[in-house]
Amino acid sequence: MSVAWPGPAFDGLDQDEREPLPAWLVASSAVIGAVLVGLASGYGSGAAVGAALLVAGALWLAVRPTVCLMILVGAAAPLSGLRRGFPVPQLRAGEAAMLAAGGILVVLGRRSIHAKWAILEWLFFGYVAATIGIGFYALRQSGESASADSFGILLVPVFHLFLYLAVRVAAGRPGMRERGIRVLMLSSIPVSIISILQYFDIAGMKNRLSEYTDLGQFSTNVEQGYVARATGPFAHWHLLAGFLFPILLVAVAIALDKAWHIISPTALGVVATFGGIAMVLTLTYTAFVGLLVGTLLVGAWARKATVMAMVLMLVTVVAGFAFSEQLAGRFSDQFSGVESAGGNRFIPSTLNFRFSVWTEQFLPVILEKPTVGYGPTTPKDVTWEFTESVYITMLLRGGLILLAIFLAYWFALLARSWATRNDADPAVRIPARALTASVIVLIPMNAVFPYYTSPGLPHVLAVLAGLAFAPTHERLTKAPAERRASSSQPASALP
């Protein structure tokens, strides 16, 4: 039986899925709306109308949790790489979407679903709290004042936790997981297409992207004589690769499960094709290896490891021929001039450089403050400000304390996803398998690039975790007619 492309992403938005607003929210919204309109009227009638529409839009979304979840899942990760301040001052576009749609879900969702926190949630919260608390303590100890950049660095994990909780609160409603997975997959298509257009500079995409994101790494790489590497709507090729590889793992999990009720084969093929091409154009071998290993893991859990190994061999050969010039150029960049620079000729130049930076710059300053680190600032003795590793980042921002808490959270995430990866519900096990494989391969990947503290990947992982770990919304498992019948009974007739 065929499924129409792309599948019913927003079906069922009828009155039965809308949540009645509590009286306190309606009253407070009226007061806040009146105040905003009054304040905005001083800037002209247009501002007053805008303020009124803002409040009305928030109320419209408040009764539509499905739409809120779709906005949250479809916008948080793809827009996370845009330049801060566009279009909302001091925020990235993805952060603005999280605050708007996610805020509604978190505030109103707890009226009808009480998702109790377990070890994972408390460790996630502990990691966020430790990042902020130790960060401010380190700033105070150094005598430095907290700048806007410092605040931004310290608050980034807050958005990751907020995104996870918002998705987790809403995804337990009937059919919401499937829609969430579908929208997450479809939202990757524009990112992949933009990345391909940027790489080949089609339709002036490179200049267009420069208006909304920082393309310094893309331009600098080419100007220095290295092969071009796609970054898409992100500031670095590693960020684009980090965004894409868990998406592609979800695609593999869906295909192996033949879960065409979630997304049609045609739509999944479009996602995988454009995503695969964009991934190759990042020329990021770390992510390539992570994707290959993750794919084999997902195949093993689906008991189709042999099939996946054969498919991967075929895809690797095809990609090697199709992008031989780009891959050969990247290989040359990695190994040419390594010995003359004093490195090991059998180790890529980027790894030689990282090892040099870690041993000569970062480790000496870390050993001076091993317990709490330096907070969100870079020590003055460090000339290369990029840590090139999540673990070095944790040691700098919060010392051994923050690193220990982060590792505890990471392995709790692995334990929860591992326990869920064979769930009977395909809408649960598909994101769980992609998440489990991602968490496993990221253990070594995070050692050579700070994937988890950069835009893109942590947002996708938060969405996958929220979809996989959302408790079932028991009240809405009843049929709509049954819910209406039970709500119309007099109180004396109810048990």
Are 393 and 458 in the same domain? yes
Domain count, the chain: 2
Block residue for tokens 């990471």: 410
Q: What is the DSSP letter of 244?
A: H
The alpha carbon dihedral of 325, 328, 334, 340 has a sign of: negative
| Domain edge (last residue) among 26, 41, 63 | 63
**According to the model, what pLDDT value does residue 188 have?**
96
Are 120 and 207 in the same domain? yes
Residue 3 is assigned to a structural domain of this protein? no
Are 170 and 30 in the same domain? no
Are 145 and 33 in the same domain? no
Residue 116 is assigned to a structural domain of this protein? yes
**According to the model, what pLDDT value does residue 371 have?**
93
Are 364 and 422 in the same domain? yes
Are 218 and 252 in the same domain? yes
Residue 490 is assigned to a structural domain of this protein? no
Are 315 and 430 in the same domain? yes
- Residue 66 contacts residue 108 (beta carbons within 8 Å): no
Please classify residue 356 by burial: count the beta carbons closer than 10 Å to its beta carbon, then call 0-12 exposed, 13-18 middle and 19+ buried. middle
Long-range contacts (CB closer than 8 Å, 24 or more residues apart) made by 404-409: 405/123, 405/126, 405/127, 405/130, 406/127, 408/123, 408/126, 409/120, 409/123, 409/124, 409/126, 409/127
**According to the model, what pLDDT value does residue 41 have?**
56
Are 17 and 96 in the same domain? no
Residue 321 is assigned to a structural domain of this protein? yes
Residue 444 is assigned to a structural domain of this protein? yes
**According to the model, what pLDDT value does residue 486 have?**
44
Are 137 and 55 in the same domain? no
Residue 239 is assigned to a structural domain of this protein? yes
Are 411 and 331 in the same domain? yes
Q: What is the pLDDT of residues 228-253, one digit of tens each?
A: 788 889 988 999 999 999 999 999 99
| C-alpha closest to that of 160 among 466, 495, 490, 411 | 466
For the record, the structure tokens of 110 come out as: 């707890």
The alpha carbon dihedral of 389, 333, 437, 456 has a sign of: positive
**According to the model, what pLDDT value does residue 424 have?**
94
Q: What is the pLDDT of residues 451-477, one digit of tens each?
A: 999 999 999 999 999 999 998 865 444
Q: Quick count: other Cβ atoms within 10 Å of Cβ 359?
A: 10
Are 36 and 94 in the same domain? no
Tell which phi-psi region holds residue 146, choosing left (phi > 0), alpha (psi between -120 and 50) or beta: beta
Residue 481 is assigned to a structural domain of this protein? no
CA distance 442 to 302: 21
Q: What is the DSSP letter of 378?
A: P
**Structural domain range at position 43:** 13-63
Which residue numbers in the chain have pLDDT < 70? Answer: 1-63, 108-115, 214-226, 317, 320-346, 473-495
**According to the model, what pLDDT value does residue 69 have?**
86
**According to the model, what pLDDT value does residue 112 have?**
44
Give the type of residue at 94. G
Residue 376 is assigned to a structural domain of this protein? yes
Run of H or E including 407? helix 390-420
**According to the model, what pLDDT value does residue 22 have?**
56
- Residue 411 contacts residue 419 (beta carbons within 8 Å): no
Are 89 and 159 in the same domain? yes
**According to the model, what pLDDT value does residue 475 have?**
43
Q: Which residues of 383-400 are buried (b: 16+ CB within 10 A; e: fewer)?
A: eeeebbbbbbbbbbbbbe
